[in-house]
Amino acid sequence: MGRCFTMEKTEAEKEECVSRLAEQNSIPREEARRFCAPKKYELERAQQLYENYKNLVQTHSLASVSIKDAFLSVRKKSIYIPERTDRNGAALLVVDPLRCTEKILLERIVRILFYFGEILTKDCAVQEKGVTLVFNMDGMTPCSFSFSLVRKITSFFQESFPAKVKNILFHRPPCWLSFFTKLARLFMKQKACERIKLCSDMDMVTFVDLRNLPVEFGGELDFDAFGFISRRSQLEKIPAGALMMETREERQPHVSFVLAEEPEKDSVPSPHSVLEDELEKINKELRENYQGETPLSDAKIDSQSDSLVLSEDTAEAFGMTREKIKEKTETMKQKIEALETLRTFEPFQAV
């Protein structure tokens, strides 16, 4: 059967849709246009999108977002907007799932997506052309892949935000990803599924010009994370000190047993004893999931440097099983991340 096409709206019809949506919801015409454009100026669909958007803002407390919400994401290049478009004029939004699943909670991802979406959809061209999502799948394994993360990001733009998804590009997809794309069809709309593209370096160029494509995807664009943060901070009048506080707050939960408020001098435990106790706690919990030896069985805390010492074999085993260990309990995940942080946190550098 052939596809059913709707007739293009005239300029007068578009303006009528914008006016009625603005009047119905007591919002400025510019704001109403953001919801009409992605729904092809069909009033009923635009109204539903606006209601979904309001519910999203209320549910996740998104009335006030700023670069502070996206600072760490941009700095680590886990989710960011390179301020470039694909060949059809759709704005690019880049996601590195490996970095997202390590450090960012799903609730924080919603705030990040909302922040970037608000920036992008202020542009009239993006309202018409939409957004292309680019996922960096290089080095991804089945254990580290989060289907729920991809689903959350794609559904965010499909259901609750005034921006249509033009394409979903998976760069350097592993062979097993085709299974997940088939699984995605059970949860995603048909049009969205048709926009999923599994791309090699050469394929990426068919969708995005080399000059607009970030270097991690084989392009020529070297995204300046700190330049982006600086420009947004100035526009939003966010002091640098507030961003530094974001960094400290992100690190604090992972090393809280080292950075805790200092107690009385006589009762201060040595870093060495603190680390040994923490290592023993982790090993004790690991033994519940392993028979006999664990990935950290021969790990120790060096008495001179107070650093975590792992043999080469143990380090490899730890890396191979880390994702499986994290899935056991949330408490386990926090402790493993704390131990990993200690390996690079001064003055407890790993040897």
User: What's the pLDDT tens digit per position in 10-30?
Assistant: 999 999 999 999 999 999 999
Task: Give a three-class secondary structure readout of 219-286.
Answer: CCECCCHHHHHHHHHHHHCCCHHHHHHHHHHHHHHHHHHHHCCCCCHHHCCCHHHHHHHHHHHHHHHH
Domain extents for the chain? Answer: 12-59, 67-238, 250-342
The more confident residue out of 308 and 233 is 233
Q: How far apart are CA 308 and CA 218, in angstroms?
A: 37
The more confident residue out of 66 and 99 is 66
Task: With residue 186 as reference, give the H or E element that holds it.
Answer: none
- The bridge status of strand 300-301 relative to strand 308-309 is antiparallel
- What are the angstrom distances between the C-alpha of 234 and each of 227, 229, 239? 11, 9, 8
Dihedral angle, C-alpha 334, 339, 341, 343, nearest 10 °: -170
In the CATH hierarchy, which top-level class contains the domain 67-238? alpha beta
Residue 252 has pLDDT above 90, yes or no: no
Among 34-43, 156-165, 200-209, name the one with the lowest average pLDDT: 156-165
Residue 107 has pLDDT above 70, yes or no: no
Confidence of residue 333 (pLDDT cuts 50, 70, 90): very low
Q: Report, as an integer, the average pLDDT of 195-208.
A: 92
Q: Report, as an integer, the average pLDDT of 154-181.
A: 85
The answer, yes or no, to whether the previous bond of 38 is cis (omega within 30 of 0) is no
What's the pTM?
Answer: 0.66
Confidence of residue 181 (pLDDT cuts 50, 70, 90): confident
- What are the angstrom distances between the C-alpha of 3 and each of 6, 193, 194? 10, 16, 14
Report the pLDDT value the prediction gives residue 29, as an integer from 0 to 100. 94
Residue 108 has pLDDT above 90, yes or no: no
Crossing angle of the two packed helices 225-236 and 67-76, in degrees rounded to 10: 170
